[in-house]
Amino acid sequence: MDDQRPDVLLTGLLFYDLVLTGLGRPPTPGEEIWTSGMGCGPGGIANLAVAASRFGLSTSLATVFGDDFYGAYLRDVLAGQEGVDLTLSRTADGWHTPVTVSLAHGHDRALVTHGQEPPYSQDVLMGDPPEAITALVHIEAEPHDWLAKAVANGTRIYADVGWDPTQRWSTDLLDQLSLCHAFLPNEAEAMAYTRTDSAVAALGVLSELVPVAVVTRGGDGAVAVDQTTGEYAEVPALDVEVLDATGAGDVFGASFVAASLGGWPLAERLRFAVLAAGLSVRHHGGALAAPGWYGVDQWWRSLTDPDLRQAYGFLADRLPADPGPPVTYAPVTPPARQY
């Protein structure tokens, strides 16, 4: 309780996301399709930042904002609405905030993005990174210097990894796991990097490289091993109607960190993260779909399924007495303000 360090330290690329849902089918060249749903808001690294902040974690984000309408709007949402600390962030003159249009269809989505590399790298933004309890990181093929500095400061690294567009899946990337406390790839990524043919087999390889290994499996839930406690857990996904899967993996990761900071058993950490991710796909966008304590509390109070009541019974002792105010979901368009 007396630790003044941020709970979560983050850096990465920020996007303005415009999400379209309710497509009867994917569009084809030369035609116009009307959708029944739309939402906008922060995306990219903001997915992790907002999800963590909504679980009451003090969250410090180092990112770059464009000096445009989108940048001003996203800064207002992250700092003013969601309480994310942006001290380490910068606004870049003459640089445009990246914009992503997400076309949600079925249980997946297609993304179309416009943007350029930011003028400040992660290492420049971080410098000598401040001490923090944890850092949530997307590791990349080229290692970032700030990671080793953060580990030297006593920060625990929880890492994810993105899709490799070259599809070479170089195993050299796994060398960076020596800096990490936990690694949380999805099933396709885990199997590709470990050269295995199942999530469980991939988990076995990863558990030799990092203390806590988690493999997310989308509609099949998640599996995990914690070598520090000797625990193994496998949990199913929730049966929910998917509106938009954007950012669900990021919500999972931030929720897993929140439960880990609480010292929960592995099975509870995994169920909690699966629940938060499942609740997020019922709303538009990534960042603003994160349920936070309020969303989890509302789900628990309305739950009548006896099997789920038993499986998630631990929430009765974990939920805060005051889950906070209702969260703000993605608006159809930004509010009419002067930025």
Interval 250-284: pLDDT, tens: 999 999 999 999 999 999 999 999 999 999 999 99
For the record, the structure tokens of 55 come out as: 């679980």
CATH number for the domain that contains residue 155: 3.40.1190.20
Quick: pLDDT tens for 275-305.
999 999 999 988 999 999 999 999 999 999 9
Out of 119-123, 148-152, 283-287, least confident range: 283-287
Give the three-state DSSP class for 231. Answer: strand
Question: Which candidate, 52, 212, 54, places its Cα nearest to that of 135?
Answer: 52
In a domain, 263, yes or no: yes
Quick: pLDDT tens for 216-230.
998 899 999 999 999
Total structural domains in the chain?
A: 1
Return the higher-pLDDT residue of 108 and 120: 120
- Please give the C-alpha separations between residue 234 and each of 92, 211, 221, 230, in angstroms, as whole numbers: 44, 17, 8, 14
Q: Which long-range contacts (CB under 8 A, 24 or more apart) does 318-323 make?
A: 318/262, 318/264, 318/268, 318/272, 319/293, 320/56, 320/293, 323/292, 323/293, 323/294, 323/296, 323/297, 323/298
Would you say 274 and 252 are in contact if contact means Cβ atoms under 8 Å apart?
yes
The phi, psi pair for 150, rounded to 5°, reads -65, -40
Return the higher-pLDDT residue of 165 and 174: 174
Query: Cα 247–81–338 angle (5° rounding)?
Result: 105
In a domain, 328, yes or no: no
Tokens 């914690």 sit on residue: 226
* C-alpha to C-alpha distance for 49 and 125, rounded to whole angstroms: 16
**Which positions ≥6 away from 308 have C-beta within 8 Å?**
none
* C-alpha to C-alpha distance for 53 and 8, rounded to whole angstroms: 9
The 108-114 sheet, strands edge to edge: 37-44, 14-21, 99-105, 108-114
In a domain, 93, yes or no: yes
pLDDT of residue 162: 83
In a domain, 338, yes or no: no
* C-alpha to C-alpha distance for 249 and 267, rounded to whole angstroms: 18
In a domain, 218, yes or no: yes
From start to end of the chain, where are the E strands? 8-11, 14-21, 37-44, 59-62, 64-66, 90-92, 99-105, 108-114, 134-139, 156-161, 182-183, 212-216, 222-226, 231-235
2 band by pLDDT with thresholds 50, 70 and 90: low
In a domain, 80, yes or no: yes
Task: Look up residue 218 and give its DSSP letter.
Answer: G
In a domain, 68, yes or no: yes
In a domain, 274, yes or no: yes
99 band by pLDDT with thresholds 50, 70 and 90: very high
Range of the domain at 227: 8-24+35-318
Taking residues 332-337, report their average pLDDT.
79
